[in-house]
Amino acid sequence: MSDAADPLAQIRTHGAVPRHVAIIMDGNGRWARERMLPRPLGHRSGMKAVRAVVEAALEAGVEVLSLFAFSQENWQRPVTEVSALMSLLEEYIAREAAELERRGVRVCFLGELDRLGPGQRNAVDAVMSRTACCDRLRLNLFVSYGSRAEMVLAVRGIAEDAAAGRLAPEEVGEDLISQRMFTAGCPDPDLLIRTSGEQRISNFLLWQLAYTEIFISPVLWPDFGRKELFDAILDYQRRERRFGRVQA
Ligand code: IPE
Ligand code: IPE
Ligand code: MG
């Protein structure tokens, strides 16, 4: 394949690869409806897209991949859909854990994990400890996650430390707040992708996205794969990030 036709070769020559890519994986329900299938089958197809995108992120040399899989607000969906999603979560871990470990992927689940059932909770804990030493790619899977709730927990922790005299108010700065988020230790996302054409953040990483480049893809999540990820990265590489300054 010539370089012009191979997006990975283009990515390598175009400039810096985003260190941290975050994705709001949206559109599973519409994908199913278009095929007159029940919504859970859309989520099942979405699971295959997760596999393809993790593989592509490894190929491109992304350091952190953050995937929004299930929001706190998603608990309000019909129980049948919630239980289908929770079963898929367990199935994903059972199917993929060994391969993820083999490929050097450190899996981290981020969110209010206490709300998960015991089966999901055990699976989540097991894959996190099993892959804890992997360092090729960090895969953040956001489950039962809400950004405002994450901020509330962080602020509460800071207030408790201050009240107990462990922290002085002047020590509270941007770095300390970042360290109190679930994403502590990760650079802020360079690129946020939302699939299915929706143009909103839906309570995802409100603190961390301050200067993230946003890419809205019209593709429904189950149809998103290697090519779509590489196209988004190439688009990112053509942008000029100014961070409020003027061009040098
Ligand atoms: C994204 O797909 C998956 C989750 C939010 C769990 P949706 O289920 O939101 O799909 P649409 O938006 O209804 O098409
Ligand atoms: C955002 O998608 C949450 C996830 C992708 C997990 P939603 O489909 O829940 O968001 P809204 O309701 O369209 O904002
Ligand atoms: Mg949706």
Does the pLDDT value for residue 247 go beyond 90?
no
| Residue 90, in any domain of the structure | yes
**What per-residue string of b and e applies to 125-135 under the rule 16 or more CB within 10 Å gives b?**
eebbebbeebe
Is 26 considered catalytic here?
Answer: yes
Backbone phi, then psi, for 214, in 5-degree steps?
A: -110, 135
Q: What is the pLDDT of residue 6?
A: 85
Q: What is the pLDDT of residue 148?
A: 98
Mean pLDDT for 3-28 is 92
Q: How far is the CA of 47 from the centre of ligand 3 (A)?
A: 15
Contacts of 156 (CB under 8 A, 6+ apart): none
Indicate if ligand 1 lies below 6 Å from the C-beta of 30.
yes
83 shares a domain with 117: yes
Q: Which ligand is nearest to the CA of 24?
A: 2
Is 231 considered catalytic here?
Answer: no
| Residue 164, in any domain of the structure | yes
Residue type for 138, please?
R
| Residue 202, in any domain of the structure | no
Residue type for 220, please?
L
Does the pLDDT value for residue 1 go beyond 80?
no
Read off the DSSP letter of residue 138.
Answer: E
pLDDT digits (tens, 9 = 90+) for 35-55: 999 999 999 999 999 999 999
3 falls in which pLDDT band (50, 70, 90)? low
Token pair, residue 221, equals 């999540």
Q: How far is the CA of 172 from the centre of ligand 1 (A)?
A: 37
* Whole-Å CA distances, 224 to 24, 53, 115: 12, 8, 29
Q: Which ligand is nearest to the CA of 86?
A: 1
| Residue 107, in any domain of the structure | yes
Run of H or E residues at 65: strand 64-71
Mean pLDDT of the chain: 97
Question: For residues 115 and 70, is the Cβ–Cβ distance under 8 A?
Answer: no
Does the pLDDT value for residue 145 go beyond 70?
yes
Q: How far is the CA of 116 from the centre of ligand 1 (A)?
A: 19
Indicate if ligand 1 lies below 6 Å from the C-beta of 74.
yes
Question: For residues 217 and 194, is the Cβ–Cβ distance under 8 A?
Answer: yes
pTM over 0.95: yes
| Residue 5, in any domain of the structure | no
Q: How far is the CA of 74 from the centre of ligand 2 (A)?
A: 7
Catalytic residue (one of 74, 161, 203, 223): 74
pLDDT digits (tens, 9 = 90+) for 77-130: 999 999 999 999 999 999 999 999 999 999 999 999 999 999 999 999 999 999
Cα torsion 67, 124, 161, 179: sign? negative
**Domain extent for 158:** 147-185
pLDDT digits (tens, 9 = 90+) for 48-90: 999 999 999 999 999 999 999 999 999 999 999 999 999 999 9
Token pair, residue 107, equals 């899996």
Indicate if ligand 1 lies below 6 Å from the C-beta of 140.
no
CA distance 240 to 248: 11
pLDDT more than 90, % of the chain:
97
Catalytic residue (one of 26, 28, 140, 188): 26
| Residue 24, in any domain of the structure | yes
| Residue 2, in any domain of the structure | no
Domain count, the chain: 3
Indicate if ligand 1 lies below 6 Å from the C-beta of 77.
no
CA distance 194 to 188: 16
Ligand 1 atom with the shortest distance to the CA of 32 = 14
5 falls in which pLDDT band (50, 70, 90)? confident
Residue 52's CB: how many other CB atoms inside 10 A?
15
| Residue 206, in any domain of the structure | no
Q: Which residues does residue 140 pair with via DSSP β-bridges, in sequence order?
A: 66, 108
